[in-house]
Amino acid sequence: MDDILFGNNNQATINRLAKRSYRANKQRNVFVTIALFLTAFMITSVFSLGCSYFETYQMQQIRAMGTTADVAITSLSEEQYEELSRSSLVSVVGVSQRLGSIDTSGMDDALLSITWIDETEWQEHRVPTISDIHGDYPQAKNEIMLPTWALRAMGIDDPQIGMNISLSYQLGTDYQYISDEFVLSGYYTDYSASRAGNRGAAYVSELFATQTGLPFDSVSTAMISFSDDSNALRSCEKLKRKISFTESQSFEIVPIAQSNSTTIVLPLAAIIVFIIISGYLLIYNILYISISRDTQFYGQLKTIGTTKRQIKRIVRSQIFRTAVIGIPSGLIVGGIVSLGLVPFAMNMMYSSDTDLGEIVSFSPIIFAGAAIFTFFTAIIGSMKPAKIAASISPVAASRYTEANTRSYRDHKSHRTKLSRMARDNILETLKALSLLLRPYF
């Protein structure tokens, strides 16, 4: 059944009433807009900082480890490789072969192994941990790929793809060094050297590895990512029950697989919840006081036949109007401030790991999420005041007017002002937020 005022469908009339009521409550609109602005601004800033912190944390751990794999299994046989490739427990299995080492006697105590890895290992486990990749993985027998720190240790500060590099190296257990000339097929920035102390790998081609004649199981290591990476140790035990391994084979779990992100996510989630609750209380208090002061207005609307649904629509319409101003402005200012705040905060939090790089996240998802949470806060904050406004009866409105007139004359000095309460709530919210954020700066 349509809502009817004077016997007509009155959607246009309700919209005009909502618009006039909105214009008549300028002070309330200002403070509701400020509340929505602050909520959107703070959620945007915290989301940006939290996402940047989490992504940087994950990236730096991966880069420090030099692989995204969960576990390395030594002395891999070809049969075991085939079984691992078919196992439902394993999502990615790559092969790494340590063929020998390079003579680094003149390279500041650096240690460089000669290593071949297959395409899966390179793309899935190694590429995500490095950056600034120039050139390609070696294909020809005499091609080699080196990290930039190793090239600098060789005295090469400006590497060029295709340049010749003379190296001495040994293969397998033969300690006789071979002098050879390689062609640089690629170079990259390696971060694991900062953890391992100038230890890394010089990558060679599959053709080079094949021509060494070294047995597959004596030089091969399986690099595995599990389908369920929540507990690498438990997954290893399941794998051992399905595939036969020898006692000499070791399972080396990559430490990053044991990291716990809960200590990062929970504090940030607590801050977001606090901001939403604070925004809700601000909007609720402001609207509640405003509706209490406008009791006579809503009572008169009831007298002329306005329904509860229509009164709720008037209140919600006013919230929508302020949201159109408050939320976008909060998102814009939050984004602008975050451009300077987030990098500064990241430098403060990761001052000892700047070599591993940082990620400053400004994903559209952050702004969409902030807008949704803020709008949700506005809707929830207006629900009870709208219900209160809709429940006001004409009789109660007239009594309220008479009682409030006498109360205003007798107790004017004790009357709580809307502006004062809104201001105090906003200041308390900012103060509490600064205390929550203090441990992160």
* Number of C-beta neighbours around residue 350 at 10 A: 18
pLDDT average per 10 residues of sequence, the chain (441 residues) = 47 68 73 84 82 77 84 92 91 93 82 92 92 93 92 90 92 87 93 73 93 90 86 87 88 68 70 80 76 69 73 78 87 82 66 59 80 85 78 63 45 48 58 53 48
Phi/psi of residue 249, nearest 5 degrees:
-80, 135
- pLDDT confidence of residue 140: 93
Domain boundaries, the chain: 4-62+260-440, 71-253
For 323, the enclosing helix (H) or strand (E) is helix 308-349
pLDDT score recorded for residue 120: 93
> What's the confidence (pLDDT) of residue 6?
45
CA distance 282 to 382: 10
Name the 3-class secondary structure at 252.
strand
Sign of the dihedral through C-alpha 295, 296, 298, 303 = positive
pLDDT at 348: 66
What's the rounded Cα separation, in Å, for the pair 417 and 123?
64
* pLDDT recorded at residue 206: 94
Question: Locate tokens 């075991």: which residue?
Answer: 80
User: What integer pLDDT is reported at residue 138 of this predicted model?
Assistant: 95
The beta strand positions in 142-218, using DSSP E, are 143-147, 164-171, 178-190, 199-204
Neighbouring C-beta atoms of residue 90, cutoff 10 Å: 20
pLDDT in the model for residue 22: 67
> Checking DSSP bridges between strand 220-226 and strand 71-73, what pairing results, if any?
antiparallel
Q: Measuring CA to CA, which residue among 276, 281, 289 is closest to residue 375?
A: 276
pLDDT of residue 260: 52
Cα separation of 427 and 433, whole Å?
Answer: 10
Question: What pLDDT score does 133 carry?
Answer: 93
CB 44 within 8 A of CB 366: yes
